[in-house]
Amino acid sequence: MIKISAHIRKFFRKILSSIAFYPSAIALLFLIFSLVMVSIEYKPFLVPLREFLDNLLVKGPENARLILGTLMGSLISLMVFSFSMVMVVLSQASSTLSPRVIPALVGKKYHQVVLGVYLGSIVYCLILITNIHVTPEKTEIPSLGILIAIFLGITCLGMFIYFIDSISRSIQVDTIMEEIFNGTRSKMRSVDNQDEEDIDLPEMDGWKVILTKETGYLKQIHVPSLKAIAEKESIKIAVVTNPGFFLVKNYPFIMVDKPVTEDIENKIRTACTFYAEEHVGDHYLFGFKQISEIAVKALSPGINDPGTAVKAIDLLSILFIDRMNLREKLYETGSDGQPVLYLPEVSLDYLLYHNIMPIRKYGESDAAVMFNILECLKNLIYADSSQKGYERVLVRYISDLRETIVANNFTPLDHEQFNHLIFKINEHLKYSDPIQML
């Protein structure tokens, strides 16, 4: 059952992240609605409504075909133009920001809903135009349905205007970074473990190692499934690999406190999902990575936008502080209140090295970027003043950054500004030697 649910999760992730999902679903709903309208158009209970709206209803079959044909042609043009704009946004985001932000842009629900309403309205008009019947005995015109089609056309025009505004905002790098930032903070709040009792991890000597059976990026750990397995089998499970890591076949990534059957091992494996996309909703690590990659891309010679890198560093500094407020150990308890599942937590050291150091490398000759990185580390020192235990880690990175500054030919005025920050940092150091001035 767990294996089936794992495959279902993976399948639904693929479907829901597709740009065609919402348009297809909405078009299907419009198809059903159009068939219902055609079937009830001439029912007696709608006669009073038709008489009340008589001045708004289409009378002649030629007028009906003309209106529906015009609506279909216009909506097809709107849909093609809107889809083209989405492709332009995705192409520009990939080339100027980072390919890793594409899944989030593709997953924007509003853009998919707009395309779906366009497509659904076209399907609706097609069904209506095929149900205009003219015979010597009588003429059947779905005039009430045509009136609804006219209102749908007006609605699509309004949605197109809002679509243009949304696209123009979503293509801006500040908007994209803010969305990634907010999603990352939200994910960190969802795993906030400050109220949990701090525990020591058990000794894992003698624990059985479970190896991977596939190659790829570990993107998601389904905690409820692992917790259910641990309680049912009366075992303790420890995940020893962070999400986002690339794992080869037969790599040790999970440990259990006692031997289990091959069937249980497979159930444990299927609770871990491997796929290519990086969704911030799966783990906050991906949000750090995407913001850092945007900053690095902005510092590339082809783009040369240090302002974007500076803002990315500012956002990362806030996220680092949020990470510092989390406990180092994550665990899930069973029904008896005892820990049954131990989860890896990405260390601040790892986040700093893999997200700040690349920016330092590509921006080492830019005084504004280096100043902002030092400012970021200074803010982390301030945030650690309540003795969270990160001072020595931060001092290592500050000292390394100082060596990079010394190796570059900055002006005396630049050194003066750097020294001012170093002085502020030294004022808040409690357990480390002062940083040497430039």
The tens place of each residue's pLDDT in the chain, 438 residues long, gives 444 455 666 666 667 667 778 889 999 999 999 999 888 877 788 778 777 877 878 887 888 889 989 999 999 998 888 888 878 877 777 777 777 777 777 667 888 888 899 999 999 999 998 888 777 777 778 888 888 999 999 999 999 998 888 888 877 888 889 989 999 998 888 876 555 555 666 777 788 898 988 888 887 788 888 888 888 888 888 888 887 788 888 888 898 988 888 888 888 888 888 776 677 777 888 889 999 999 999 898 888 888 899 999 999 999 999 888 887 667 777 777 788 888 877 888 999 999 999 999 998 889 999 999 999 999 999 888 666 678 889 999 999 999 999 988 889 999 999 999 999 999 888 888 888 888
**Cβ neighbours of residue 172 under 8 Å, at least 6 residues apart?**
none
Rounded Cα gap, residues 129 and 135, in angstroms: 15
State both tokens at 368.
Answer: 């504004």
Residue 219 backbone phi and psi in degrees, to 5:
-100, -30
Strand order in the sheet with 339-343: 208-211, 252-256, 237-239, 339-343, 330-333
* Angstrom distance (rounded) from CA 408 to CA 426: 22
Return the sign of the alpha-carbon dihedral for residues 91, 316, 328, 422: positive
The pTM of the full predicted model, rounded to 2 decimals, is 0.80
CA 314 to chain centre: 20
